Structure 1
């Protein structure tokens, strides 16, 4: 079956949203796990970030292989790993270390689906439509994150956290079946002549323009995933929720914040194409840093005011996402697109791995999760990271 660009984009977006059903289940229920397993803030940060370590370890290999192998095969095998991660967590996670294991597997599954899915699109769609299709696909990541957060909160509230992971298992399995039927095969063009060349990332590292976007994406991911890892716990604190509980209105607000990011990512890429990519990225990243610097301390404000600020932050924190990725793809050389995507993901998700841990350490050092100062310090770590993005773009983009 040959799909039109629009239908292929729809299939890849839907498949990615379903594949990500378990991605945010732990962060969405973090207060529950902190209470149930008596976790420290540092351990909670590790639990929130360890999936990204699995991603970082797997993505250079899996994305590098897309320059030689059919991306569809890598995508489907990795979706099966994601199914195992969700089912394993539901069956066997009973504390910090077992949860870490299955969260790591989830990161491996994401490594073999998110960017390889983008590779499927970039290999099958060319011309002016390619950038727009890729921006919709990268925005589908935000839909997956929001959907995972909402489903976890609602289902766990009704049937416990195990039920939330069983739902994630079923949805991820549906993604596997969808991919088997509809995702097209891909024949790599201009493949590296040897395995040594396949995993030689030096041409990407020498590509200054591409590296500017890659390091900018690292700063973006540090802020984005540091925030996502602690968002529900932060909103629960600001709302005055009892320890170990996530009220439905907190889940709803977190979901709305994440969904705003989807539109912001798509519109951000459109704005970047109109006004200049690097100029737009500089403005939006500095604006996001400014909000991050104050939002933690704003938890002392009335909840309605904080919610308004958080919704604005949900827009700025993701408005640069698609633009950074589309810029990187455009700057990558022919035959090295998979390697460039691998470096993009490796650097970006290294930041995503470290950010929740650093946030947790700062939170504890400044007063803990029951103090305004603690949350202010945590968000300051995100502000400092994203403020580096414009510097990377300016220095390396020359």
Structure 2
């Protein structure tokens, strides 16, 4: 029996006979989705910001880079606190601070102030990684997988739809309005969390420095963890190099498309979300390593296809068609690999799943940060073919590393 101790009216005791209410599961899914979406709202806006502030695309590229770096740092240094302190308090604190960071971004008068706000957004958006274990804690054992799957679906939808929404809103109301609306969504999350979330029993009395030290112990102990994390980090580098430069590329010649068009490419990620449960089932059936290899191979294939199209002299329409198909394909491959690598990592030490997942995600977002920086450098010096070429090379490295047997 799972018992969550609380001192207010939100006392919750979950058992197989008294499952987690559907309304609370829905809240967890929405909270994860709205919080993680804040990492990606800026990406379709980059072309618009480059034009408005008259700064080089390479400098504008630091906006998503610092957001993703903040998320990686938040996972590494803040996620372990979920074992040490009441998760209700953590979720309320992070959602409030995330709202303030979004309002600071909306009020930014120049690039430097927006960069600082972007770092804060990344740090506080890690509340998504507090919500998932909170849902797992409240769920009865017999339904835990289903509950966590529902919450992860919300998280994936937040990633997928954020670019679409941001591009459309920015074209309609301007880029500042997107950050204001995002802050309002976090205000709603805060109010619902304050009203419905129970207080969580602390599960560890380890001092903060010992919680962090255990991360390094796990990293040294499991070669499979290191391999899975590095593979996903390389694929995330490819992923981020593409997405952090797409809006700027589409904004210029020969496409001359607005932020809404860049945002609509985010719909391609829906294929990746649909493949997540399929990838999980296949990981159980044939093993996560084989499934992760298939995912990495898909990423290699579709980036090779886009690189070839970049080198060929073809019509704008054909280039856009290939770009759309390639986006669907490589995003599907990244999602398949992520689910498979998570499945592998979770099996290493069940008692340390949160910390194992944190290490995997840290490498993933370090890869995304490097992808933003290197992708913008490639775009500035070599054009779009430099971006897709970089993504292809890192995806090939990921595939080769995934094929290597661990000791």
Q: Same-fold call, TM > 0.5?
A: yes
Counterpart position of 1:371: none
Counterpart position of 1:68: 84
Structure 1 residue 170 displacement after superposition:
0.8
The 1-side partners of 2:70 and 2:309 are apart by 33
Q: Tell me if structure 2 keeps the 8 A contact 1:265–1:319.
A: yes
Q: 1:185 aligns with which of 192, 195, 199?
A: 199
Counterpart position of 2:155: 141
Compute the TM-score of the two structures, normalised by the length of structure 1.
0.86
Q: 2:190 aligns with which of 176, 195, 200?
A: 176
Q: Tell me if structure 2 keeps the 8 A contact 1:285–1:389.
A: yes
- The equivalences for 1:67-146 within 5 A come to 67-91=83-107, 93-111=108-126, 113-125=127-139, 129-146=143-160
The 2-side partners of 1:163 and 1:108 are apart by 21
CA change 1:307–1:346 in 2 (3 A) is closer
Structure 1 residue 157 displacement after superposition:
1.5
Post-superposition CA distance 1:157-206 (Å, at most 9, x none): 222112122111111211222222334433243x2643332121232111
Match status 1:198 vs 2:211: yes
Counterpart position of 1:262: 273
Q: 2:54 aligns with which of 38, 42, 55?
A: 38
**Helix, strand or coil at the partner of 1:24:** coil
Q: Tell me if structure 2 keeps the 8 A contact 1:54–1:107.
A: yes
Structure 1 residue 146 displacement after superposition:
2.8
Q: Give 4+ residue runs of structure 1 displaced > 6 Å after superposition.
A: none
Counterpart position of 2:75: 59
CA change 1:136–1:327 in 2 (3 A) is farther
Post-superposition CA distance 1:16-69 (Å, at most 9, x none): 122245332211111101111222232122122111111222222211212222
The 2-side partners of 1:177 and 1:34 are apart by 36
CA change 1:84–1:158 in 2 (3 A) is same
CA change 1:271–1:13 in 2 (3 A) is same
Match status 1:225 vs 2:249: no
Counterpart position of 2:389: 380
CA change 1:86–1:351 in 2 (3 A) is same
Structure 1 residue 87 displacement after superposition:
0.7
Counterpart position of 2:300: 289
Structure 1 residue 380 displacement after superposition:
2.1
Q: 2:169 aligns with which of 144, 155, 178?
A: 155
Post-superposition CA distance 1:253-303 (Å, at most 9, x none): x13113222212333222222221111111111221221233144254513
The 2-side partners of 1:238 and 1:311 are apart by 23
Q: Tell me if structure 2 keeps the 8 A contact 1:70–1:187.
A: yes
Compute the TM-score of the two structures, normalised by the length of structure 2.
0.85
Gap regions ≥5 residues in structure 1:
367-373
Counterpart position of 1:389: 398
Q: Tell me if structure 1 keeps the 8 A contact 2:234–2:395.
A: yes
CA change 1:74–1:389 in 2 (3 A) is farther
How many residue pairs match? The answer is 383
Counterpart position of 1:327: 344
Q: Give me the CA root mean square deviation.
A: 2.6
The 2-side partners of 1:136 and 1:226 are apart by 29
Largest Rg, 1 or 2: 2
Q: Tell me if structure 2 keeps the 8 A contact 1:155–1:164.
A: yes
CA change 1:115–1:230 in 2 (3 A) is same
Counterpart position of 1:13: 29
